[in-house]
Structure 1
Amino acid sequence: MAAVWQQVLALDAKYNAYRAPNNPQFRTLYIKRRSQLLRENAKTEHDPSVRREYMKMRAQLLTARYGSLPFSDQGSMRSRTVSLRSVSRNTAESMDSLNLGGNDGWLGKHHRRHLSSGSMKHIYDSIEVVPTSVAEASRAMAGGKTVSENYAFAGMHHIFDQHSASVSSVKFANDDKSRVACCSMDGSLSICQVIPPPATVICMLKGHTSGVMDFVWSLSNDVILSVSLDGTARLWAVAAGSCMRVINNPMECEIMSCVFQPLNNNMFVIGDIRCNVQVMNMSTGKPCKGGSSKITGRVLCLAFDPSGRILWSGDDKGFIHSFTFDVASGKLNKAKRITVCEGHAVTCISARSWISREARDPSLLVNCCVNSLCLFKIVSEDGALQLKRKFPIKQRLSTIRSAFCPLMSFRQGACVISGSEDMCVYFFDITKENKPCVNKLLGHSAPVLDVCFNCDESLLASCDAQGMVIIWKREGKQNML
């Protein structure tokens, strides 16, 4: 149980603005080292009562040293619970044998008790520490840099061209700076090492007999799930570079999208061209009872909220459907249908509980073939959405994807990135009303289909319709925390 260590880090981050007020570099280094120490301590078994006492004493000492916090949500510390990182440590041993014993897998009673909470605020507070509305501490810890300075990507770190057809998706491993994977319409996937140089292709994953439309890393990065137009989902052992299991689509048709259940990697969801959303049990390779639903069009994209309680699907008819998800059983309940733009395909969905201290709402980032990147606010517990902003990109025909920037707490502004049919990578600050585009990368010679940061934002990967993958590097010192 890593809950207390997450609370300690949150407490230290709140007080960090008062440490060495004239030395923001020291404060940044302090919180980085503090995070590393707490992560290491979380791996060791401790008496929970000792942890809670330590938390209480540390809060008293910090209050005595720096005074009471001026932040409004100091009392909400008691609602913090287990983070996704604590879950990921369990995935490795669960995946080794693929014998996880039913839909629950390794999801413990603690998680199920927690997931029964009712309010939207509690759902999002429970997964990540919600920031205060005061941004001065964030700006100080980021060294006072503007968003444009923070996202000054220009130089190319490496270019990969190992695929012979369009690269449909690219993703860095979770909490990993060095490994990136991509899937291609040539029917293969590749795993690459980009740090330290020279960048190399570690292995090619071959087995699909048609184009690979989508893939996702498991939380512990030991397994990759891929789906293909050949009608199969495949589980790949990353370390061995081999296929662990082939799972046929029970609907016997092409699969377009996939996603792991964030709190229980023993379940995953697939979407196909016959408008089916289907929850699958990884250990058995069979559909979960009550985990199937039909929507209005081909299921091009899927995304969970961080709590794993809400699932969204996007289709080629221009609709987003939300579902409530029972983590214990895998049962889906259809909730809302949201019209993005009828008749224009929704090609990507990403969910985030909050983006920065300036952008504190739970949000959904959506690509739709209307020459716009859309940002929605999540307004209810069943996944209802309200449009907040649109950002101009070129997208009419291609399956373009976008992403939230991974670092949220310690900086000014809030950034999202997207590919585009005009062969550019766009950076948008969602907090800016005027001229939100803060950077644009030129280098591809075909539509940019997907973009992804590594965990510390020192590198950015983008892929295009001609099979090229570019790894971009930040200008200047690579220290984004």
Structure 2
Amino acid sequence: MAAVWQQVLAVDARFNAYRVPNNPQFRTLYIRRRSQLLRENAKEEHDPLVRKEYLKLRAQLLAERYGTPPLSDQGSIKSRSISRNESFDSADMEGRTRRRYQSSSKLSPHGNILEGVVPTHAAEASRAMAGGKTISENYAFAGMHHIFDQHKSAVVRVEFAHDDKSRVACCSMDGQISICQVIPPPATVICVLTGHTSGVTDFAWSVSNDILLSSSLDGTARLWEVAGGKCIRTVEDAAGAEVLCCKFQPSNNNMFVIGTSKCQVSMMNVSTGKCVKGGSSKVLGRILCLDFEPTGKILWTGDDKGFIFAFTCDIATGKLIKTKRITVCESRPVTSISARTWMSRESRDPSLLVNCGVNALCLFRITSPDGGLQLKKKFPIKQKNQIIRSSFCPLMSFRQGVCVVTGSEDMCVYFFDVEKDQKQCVNKLQGHSAAVLDVCFNYDESLLASCDAEGTVIIWSREQK
């Protein structure tokens, strides 16, 4: 029964872009209320055949009222029926391959891959394994899987657990962190982590997903036990500064790094809660974001002055050495950094994806082992005032084209093919009624999560149920 109402919601979401097109707030309110009513009705006992007939009639009536949304319409929520076995088999294969490549790859002095499988331009076999679909078809979404609205303030960060299709967490400026289960339906909030006394600015899953790290405007970072929902350690910033971002050391989860409003980056020891020797450094501005390359040997930070600083990191001791300063755009904030060793067989450059408040998403090539960067491409989005984040689409190797996904202040989610020079936007999802602040796929790309400045989290489904 739950599966049927999810299909009804997906049909409504598919046509929602055509309902009062000049009033996005009403569209979001409508689909949110529709989701609530369908969830409530799903709890009651109904004849499954009646519900399925209702679904069929509902789809027919909407199609007659609004017409069938064309696949080429970039302003609508795209819809496509995909074979479940075809999509998930190739997705699982890609996920396993991705993890194997990332764990075995190293950078040459020129930033190329030395070990592991070297990407090549002859990737026809890989394309065939992906079913020969175009990049647009791969990212044609069926609609909304679920809508969460338990937070009362902006949800600034959303992230699926590592190698997990079903668990997603989000943090809010109301001081809370939610951990949610989205598969199997109905989606539910597993637990809400409370303890921060001010807005939560960032969080990160540990490699094994048993610990959650969070940062807050209350001047602390906290470590949470996921299973019990309890805070197991509170780390206060030595200078009493707001903690604006955090990340586990990917090769040593007994360490994590924080960035603060007093321009300080610090490597902390999980066991002691103290900064490691040589693990602290200052930059020019408030540190809004940071990320490691996959081996943990390079750390980048982005600040509100428009600079990215690169550090080399000793995995054993946590010592940080500042190596590079890269100017993105002076006086405009760098709000998101996401590193990728390589993106596909046809895009072999290690890359850094960067949001900056200049109405652009920037893609940098990593040019040296000490974190040097070279601008490769820019993609147009709306961003001037908000902290907008983006990410690489996680699957690689078995399809044509390479996609990145980002939020935007115009309330849309954008997908860009980084290999294209023209018509780079391959999809745009509409449904939020406020600026979209963060986006994240689960590891097999069957679901996408996005969050906005009004506290709504939308889970998008790539496949028709």
Taking structure 2 as the reference length, the TM-score comes to: 0.78
Match of 1:119 among 91, 108, 113: 108
Q: Considering only aligned residues, what root-mean-square deviation do their CA atoms show, in Å?
A: 2.5
Aligned to 2:320: 332
Aligned to 2:175: 187
What is the alpha-carbon distance in structure 1 between the residues aligned to residue 94 and residue 337 of structure 2? Answer: 33
Question: Following TM superposition, where does structure 1 have runs of at least 4 consecutive aligned residues deviating by more than 6 angstroms?
Answer: 25-28, 33-36
In the superposition, relative to structure 1, how do residues 120 and 191 fare at CA in structure 2: closer, same or farther (>3 Å)?
Answer: farther
CA shift for structure 1 position 410: 1.0
In the superposition, relative to structure 1, how do residues 34 and 473 fare at CA in structure 2: closer, same or farther (>3 Å)?
Answer: closer
What is the alpha-carbon distance in structure 1 between the residues aligned to residue 236 and residue 356 of structure 2? Answer: 29
What 5-or-longer segments of structure 1 have no aligned partner?
1-24, 40-79, 85-113
Aligned to 1:401: 389
Match of 1:357 among 339, 345, 353: 345
Partner secondary structure for residue 127 of structure 2: helix
Contact persistence 2:336–2:355 (CA under 8 A): yes
Contact persistence 1:130–1:354 (CA under 8 A): no
Contact persistence 1:172–1:454 (CA under 8 A): yes
CA shift digits 1:337-374 (9 cap, x unpaired): 00000000000000001111121100000000000000
Matched letter for residue 233 of structure 1: A
Matched letter for residue 405 of structure 1: C
What is the alpha-carbon distance in structure 2 between the residues aligned to residue 350 and residue 178 of structure 1? Answer: 22
CA shift for structure 1 position 216: 0.3
In the superposition, relative to structure 1, how do residues 171 and 383 fare at CA in structure 2: closer, same or farther (>3 Å)?
Answer: same
Contact persistence 1:460–1:472 (CA under 8 A): yes
**Aligned: 1:237 with 2:228:** no
Contact persistence 1:223–1:235 (CA under 8 A): yes
Aligned to 2:125: 137
Matched letter for residue 335 of structure 2: T
Match of 1:246 among 210, 224, 234: 234
What is the alpha-carbon distance in structure 2 between the residues aligned to residue 310 and residue 400 of structure 1? Answer: 23
What is the alpha-carbon distance in structure 2 between the residues aligned to residue 142 and residue 405 of structure 1? Answer: 15
What is the alpha-carbon distance in structure 2 between the residues aligned to residue 175 and residue 414 of structure 1? Answer: 20
CA shift for structure 1 position 129: 3.8
**Aligned: 1:411 with 2:431:** no
Aligned to 2:32: none
In the superposition, relative to structure 1, how do residues 150 and 263 fare at CA in structure 2: closer, same or farther (>3 Å)?
Answer: same
Higher relative contact order, structure no. (Cα contacts within 8 Å, ≥ 6 residues apart): 2
Contact persistence 1:124–1:306 (CA under 8 A): no
CA shift digits 1:358-408 (9 cap, x unpaired): 211000000000000000000011111000000000000000000000001
Matched letter for residue 83 of structure 1: S
**Aligned: 1:260 with 2:248:** yes
Contact persistence 1:371–1:396 (CA under 8 A): yes
What is the alpha-carbon distance in structure 2 between the residues aligned to residue 27 and residue 132 of structure 1? Answer: 24
Contact persistence 2:111–2:367 (CA under 8 A): no
Aligned to 1:203: 191
CA shift digits 1:153-208 (9 cap, x unpaired): 24100000010100010000000000000000000000000000000000000000
Aligned to 2:136: 148
CA shift for structure 1 position 475: 3.4
Taking structure 1 as the reference length, the TM-score comes to: 0.75
CA shift for structure 1 position 304: 0.4
What 5-or-longer segments of structure 2 have no aligned partner?
1-84
Contact persistence 2:436–2:450 (CA under 8 A): yes
CA shift for structure 1 position 307: 1.5
Match of 2:445 among 437, 454, 457: 457
Partner secondary structure for residue 138 of structure 1: helix
**Aligned: 1:157 with 2:177:** no
CA shift for structure 1 position 260: 0.7
In the superposition, relative to structure 1, how do residues 284 and 394 fare at CA in structure 2: closer, same or farther (>3 Å)?
Answer: same
What is the alpha-carbon distance in structure 2 between the residues aligned to residue 418 and residue 31 of structure 1? Answer: 21
Matched letter for residue 292 of structure 1: S
Match of 2:286 among 298, 302, 306: 298
In the superposition, relative to structure 1, how do residues 381 and 203 fare at CA in structure 2: closer, same or farther (>3 Å)?
Answer: same
Contact persistence 1:133–1:360 (CA under 8 A): no
Matched letter for residue 260 of structure 1: F
What is the alpha-carbon distance in structure 2 between the residues aligned to residue 245 and residue 155 of structure 1? Answer: 39
**Aligned: 1:83 with 2:103:** yes
What is the alpha-carbon distance in structure 2 between the residues aligned to residue 138 and residue 438 of structure 1? Answer: 20
In the superposition, relative to structure 1, how do residues 309 and 449 fare at CA in structure 2: closer, same or farther (>3 Å)?
Answer: same
What is the alpha-carbon distance in structure 2 between the residues aligned to residue 300 and residue 33 of structure 1? Answer: 35
Contact persistence 2:112–2:349 (CA under 8 A): no
In the superposition, relative to structure 1, how do residues 34 and 207 fare at CA in structure 2: closer, same or farther (>3 Å)?
Answer: closer
CA shift digits 1:437-457 (9 cap, x unpaired): 000000000000000000100
CA shift digits 1:7-45 (9 cap, x unpaired): xxxxxxxxxxxxxxxxxx889949957998x99xxxxxx
What is the alpha-carbon distance in structure 1 between the residues aligned to residue 114 and residue 330 of structure 2? Answer: 34
Contact persistence 1:413–1:429 (CA under 8 A): yes
What is the alpha-carbon distance in structure 2 between the residues aligned to residue 290 and residue 445 of structure 1? Answer: 45
Aligned to 1:66: none
% identical aligned pairs: 68
What is the alpha-carbon distance in structure 1 between the residues aligned to residue 95 and residue 428 of structure 2? Answer: 32
What is the alpha-carbon distance in structure 2 between the residues aligned to residue 204 and residue 358 of structure 1? Answer: 42
What is the alpha-carbon distance in structure 1 between the residues aligned to residue 446 and residue 107 of structure 2? Answer: 38
In the superposition, relative to structure 1, how do residues 266 and 121 fare at CA in structure 2: closer, same or farther (>3 Å)?
Answer: farther
